[in-house]
Amino acid sequence: MVGIQDSEQGTSEYQFDPLEQLSLSKLPTGEEAFSFDSFGNPEGEDTDVSDDSLLSFQGNRYSYDIFGNQVRMQSPAGYQQRQYNGLNQLTSVKSGGRYNQYQYDALGRRSAKITEGGRTDYCGMANSSSASTVTENIPGTFMSRLR
Query: How far, in Å, CA of 20 to CA of 10, rounded?
Result: 24
Residues whose CB falls within 8 Å of the CB of residue 35, separated by 6 or more in sequence, listed in order: 23, 42, 43, 44
Residue 115: what residue type? Answer: T
Looking at the fold, whether 25 and 1 belong to one and the same domain comes out as yes
Structural domain contains residue 117:
yes
87 lies in a domain?
A: no
Cα–Cα separations (whole angstroms), residue 144 to 30, 64, 112, 123, 140: 42, 37, 16, 19, 11
| pLDDT digit string, tens, across residues 92-103 | 999 988 999 999
Same domain, 59 and 103: no
What does the alpha-carbon distance between residue 132 and residue 118 come to, in Å, rounded to a whole number?
13
Phi, psi angle pair for 16, to nearest 5°: -120, 150
Look at residue 83 in the predicted model and tell me its pLDDT.
97
Domain span at 66: 40-82
CA separation for the pair 139, 116 (Å, rounded): 10
Could you give the number of structural domains in the chain?
Answer: 3
Q: Are residues 9 and 48 in the same domain?
A: no
Residue 26 lies in a domain: yes
pLDDT in tens, 24-55: 888 888 887 777 777 776 676 666 666 667 77
Q: What is the pLDDT of residue 44?
A: 67
Q: Judge if 109 and 146 occupy the same domain.
A: yes
**What's the predicted TM-score (pTM) here?**
0.59
The sign of the dihedral angle between the CA atoms of 6, 10, 15, 21 is: negative
